[in-house]
A and B are shown apart, each in its own frame.
Chain A
Amino acid sequence: GAGVSQSPSNKVTEKGKDVELRCDPISGHTALYWYRQRLGQGLEFLIYFQGNSAPDKSGLPSDRFSAERTGESVSTLTIQRTQQEDSAVYLCASSLSRDEKLFFGSGTQLSVL
């Protein structure tokens, strides 16, 4: 595959709506990460999947945020009842394993009006 693919590239939604962001990792990559990058800020860790292990959800900011991953393939990040402060670029990354370098997607720009 070409690399980590994220969709949509841009999403505009109204406050209170739910959104789903998708990430297709590089084939064979067992590790998958979600990060959030607010304007002018660094990358904020959200959640990490490693193979079939329980995900590390320690970075999810509230219970409105959840993510799933089917095996070692696609992952979806769901934000329920979106708020304006959820506006950010959501980045997905994958790697062969935990200690290998991360390959990033181009991100989804989420704007909550």
Chain B
Amino acid sequence: AQRVTQPEKLLSVFKGAPVELKCNYSYSGSPELFWYVQYSRQRLQLLLRHISRESIKGFTADLNKGETSFHLKKPFAQEEDSAMYYCALSEGGSQGNLIFGKGTKLSVKP
């Protein structure tokens, strides 16, 4: 069965330090992977998706099919990056639902 695992519930780093939020998935086909973010008192929103291969707010994520991972990275964390981050997987094809991991709370300290 398809599954998304985010091993860290909480990740705390200092401002300016590199950050990596881990995401591993279990799926036999060709998945689409996403990162969603929820800032304090705001709605959950899309941060980036792997097919776009873009950098948003300095974050990037590379799909590694061999390791079945889609880790989110930023070289220099900022305080405003503090938020809940959710990795999500879409099966593709005719299936519709998006499967989310349990989320990682990122705290960037000054």
Contact = CB atoms under 8 A, between A and B. Distances in A.
Interface in A68-89: none
Contacts, number: 48
User: Which of B90, B98, B103 gathers the greatest number of chain A CB atoms within 10 Å?
Assistant: B98
Given A91-B44, A104-B44, A33 B97 contact: yes
Interface residues of A, number: 24
Interface string A38-52: 000111110010100
Interface residues of B, number: 20
B97 A48 contact: yes
B42 to A, nearest CB: 9
B23 to A, nearest CB: 12
A76 B18 CA distance: 43
Contact of B45 (A45, A58, A98, A104): A104
A60 to B, nearest CB: 11
Given A101-B49, A104-B45, A42 B96 contact: no
A45 B98 contact: yes
A101 B32 CA distance: 11
Contact of A43 (B43, B45, B86, B95): B86
12 contacts: A31-B96, A43-B100, A45-B97, A45-B99, A45-B100, A93-B44, A98-B90, A98-B96, A104-B43, A104-B44, A104-B45, A105-B43
Q: Which 8 A-B pairs have the closest CB atoms?
A: A42-B102, A43-B100, A101-B46, A104-B44, A48-B96, A45-B97, A48-B97, A104-B43
Interface of A: 3, 31, 33, 35, 41-45, 48, 50, 56, 58-59, 91, 93, 98-99, 101-106
